[in-house]
Every structure is written in C-alpha cells, then in structure tokens.
Amino acid sequence: MHPCKILIVEDESLVAMDMIDMLTRQGYEMMPYAMGYTEAISLLEKETPDIILIDINLSGHKTGIQLAHLIAEQYQIPFIFTTSHSDRQTVTEAAATMPSGYLLKPFNGEDLFTSIEVALANFANRACLPVAISSGLLINESIFVKTEKNFIKVKVDEILWLEADHNYLNIILDNGKHMIRSSFQEIMQRLPKEQFIQIHKSYIINSKCIDSFSHTEVVIQQKTLPLSRNYKDNFIAKINRVH
C-alpha cells in the first residue's frame, strides 16, 4: 500500500512549501513541486502522481489552464485548480478543462484534504472511468482505500486475495489488509477478469500470486484457501489459459 502521491504546480515557493507541509502532515506523499508549465511536464514524464494541484497563474508564458488541457488530453490524472481568481471568465476557462475541483486561496489543510477527497471521488465517478466502490475508489489500476485519515493507494497487482465479510470485503496484501464496503459482484466488474478468479463464495484470488493448488484448495503465501466445487471448473479453465 502507498500514500496518495501529489504533484503541486505553484509559482510561489512559499505557498508551495506551505501546501507540501500541510499535506505531508496529513499522510500524503509529495513529489517535488513545479513552478511552471515546462517544469510540470518534465516531472510528469519521470513520475506519475495520483492527483495534481495546479495554480492558474504560473511563471512562464503558459498558464495553469493550458497545463490542465494537456493533462486532460494526455494523462488520466485528476487535477484541482488552486487559485485566488474567482471571476467569471477565469472560472469559465477553467471549467472547460473538466477539473476535479476548484479551490480558492487562501485555504488551510482541512480545505486541501476535503478537496482532494472530493476530487478523487469525482474523477472515479466519471462515466468513462472506473467507478467508485463505496469506501474505495478504483483509478488507473489501483484501489484508493478510504481510511480515517485519507486515501491509501493499493495497486491491483499487490492484492493477494479478497475475502467476503458480510457487507464488506477484506483486501488482503502481503503486509496487511484493508476493509471496504463492497460486494464481489461490484468489485469483479472492475478487476481484470483473467487475473482475479472467484474460488469460493467468500474468496477471490489473484491468480498471479498462487503458490500451488489441488482440487480442493489454493495456497497463496502459505495460506490455504478453499476451492469450492461450484467454482472449480472455471478456476481450472482460467488457470490453463495463464502463460
């Protein structure tokens, strides 16, 4: 599991450092901040954040709105405008980029936290992207699990198995687990179907993590999981197709 990674694009160093301090204290992972369009693109070519905070007025010839247009066209990354401008023309131009949020300066840590949560949910709920799953969001092959503090990113490939617990699902990882409110039917619509296989009414496993199996059980990292008769044929068929 990984903290949500954030890129700040802000041409005032003191403002950027203050934002980084607020977000670091809330448990987020911060990339080096960018002061302008070109610097932001250079950082994006090296590393992919989970969300971007963009000031509209940037140093250089290109604005934050121009940067947002490029992000919307070339990257599937949610972004929030952070600005002191609320005039009609600026808001209209910003809205045309389909941002996931618009936060007016000055703001505090709670404002940032709330905007990031809402932005991730808005981005995940767009019709053309993976949708929210109650207490978790599926974005770009990762599940963002809601904790008491913030969203924690869990890459789909790092999931060992999913375990049903009444109205909840336990996401089992190598170094722990997370619980979300979701059903097998709901989450299976979003996970890679050839990779994740239901083997029992209470278990879905990541086929990449199987250590061994028999006609009655599957072993993943020394944990023996039951292989139900109702799911065995489908399991065997899918395993035979894995290369």
- Residue spans of alpha helices (H) in the chain: 13-25, 37-46, 64-74, 88-95, 109-124, 184-188, 229-241
Residue 54: what pLDDT?
A: 97
Q: Determine the average pLDDT of the residues in 135-147.
A: 64
Question: At 210, is the pLDDT very low, low, confident or very high (cuts 50, 70, 90)?
Answer: very high
Tokens of 227: 């292989």
Q: How confident is the model at residue 55 (pLDDT cuts 50, 70, 90)?
A: very high
- CATH fold of the domain at 157-241: OB fold (Dihydrolipoamide Acetyltransferase, E2P) (2.40.50)
* Model confidence band, residue 4 (pLDDT cutoffs 50, 70, 90): confident
Q: How far apart are CA 113 and CA 151, in angstroms?
A: 10
pLDDT digits (tens, 9 = 90+) for 221-237: 999 999 999 999 889 88
CA distances from 26 to 109, 110, 155, 160, 175 (A): 8, 9, 21, 28, 22
Cα 202 to Cα 221: distance, rounded to the nearest angstrom: 18
Closest CA to 198 of 242, 171, 234, 243: 234
What pLDDT band is residue 243 in, cutting at 50, 70 and 90?
Answer: very low
Contact 218, 207 (CB under 8 A): no
pLDDT at 130: 45
Mean pLDDT of 201-210: 93
CATH 1.10.10.60 fits 2-124, yes or no: no
Q: What torsion do the CA atoms of 149, 154, 160, 163 make, to the nearest 10 degrees?
A: 50
d(CA 52, CA 49): 7
